[in-house]
A = this chain, B = another copy of it.
Amino acid sequence: MFKAVMNAKNFKKIIDSISNLVDEICFEVDELGIKANAMDPSHVALISVNIPKESFDEYVSDTHDIGVDLEALKKIMNRAKPNEKLMLELDMEKNKLDIILKNEGTRKFSISLYDVSSSNVKVPEIGYPNEVMIKAGTIVESLKDAELVNDHVSLKITEDGKFIIYSKGDINTNETVLDRDNESIIELKISESSKSTYNLAYLKDITKATSSEDILHIHLGTDMPVKIEYIIGDTKLIYLLAPRIES
């Protein structure tokens, strides 16, 4: 069995965070909580989510793989109202996941399970020279600036302690320069200068579901995948995005 109750708003944000990158996912549920790892269809980005039992108001579960169409689940969660309770329940007989929204009345959705293989994708353990802790809003705005000049963006760390978001187009350029004095920087841990370039659309998808005050942990190195982590309630989300190797 699998039955879990939580605030609809938090689950909606988790689903938004995942569904911007992948179309379907296998939730691996057990007595400890819900986990999922997936790569985007082009294998450029990896997402890992861990929703521990403690995130839920109620939680009872055996071990199951629950494969779902994220697009359908996202649309359903978009129908949730701010203060609604969400109940997720596995209907093993019908092979469906029931999504029940409760406030005044009861609204129930049942979605068919998909045979999504619980991937063997794991977040690789990589040592990074640099780490930036920054408010998500600043990153989101910088990406919108960068988007005006090109479809990729460089994340740079300078030796004198600056974090630079840089984009260069055929005609125009853009850069946002941030240092420790900036209000949106929580912490800068720098051990060397670095530079990597990433696909802008992926970075936008990764940060799309964040609120401007969410804190992003961004791990950076030269020509390395960027690792971005953030927390929704007790849920931890990890993204890994491969660099664009410039010829």
Task: Give me the interface of A with B, judged by CB distance under 8 Å.
Answer: 69, 72, 75-76, 79, 104-112, 138, 141-142, 144-145, 148-149, 171-178, 182-184
Residues of B within 8 A of A69 (CB): 171
Cα A108 to Cα B105 with chains together (Å): 47
Q: A105-B184, A106-B177, A111-B171 are in contact. List 18 more A-B contacts (CB 8 A).
A: A69-B171, A72-B171, A72-B172, A75-B148, A79-B144, A106-B176, A107-B142, A107-B175, A107-B176, A108-B173, A108-B177, A109-B145, A109-B148, A109-B149, A109-B173, A110-B173, A112-B171, A112-B172
A-B contact pairs, 22 of them (CB 8 A): A72-B171, A75-B148, A79-B141, A79-B144, A79-B145, A79-B148, A105-B138, A105-B176, A105-B178, A105-B184, A106-B176, A106-B177, A107-B145, A107-B174, A107-B175, A108-B173, A108-B174, A109-B145, A109-B149, A109-B173, A109-B174, A110-B172
Residue of B nearest to A101 (CB): B145
Cα A79 to Cα B149 with chains together (Å): 13
Q: Which 5 A-B pairs have the closest CB atoms?
A: A112-B171, A110-B173, A111-B172, A107-B176, A109-B174
Cα A107 to Cα B76 with chains together (Å): 38
Residues of B within 8 A of A182 (CB): 104-105
Cα A184 to Cα B149 with chains together (Å): 42
Cα A142 to Cα B69 with chains together (Å): 22
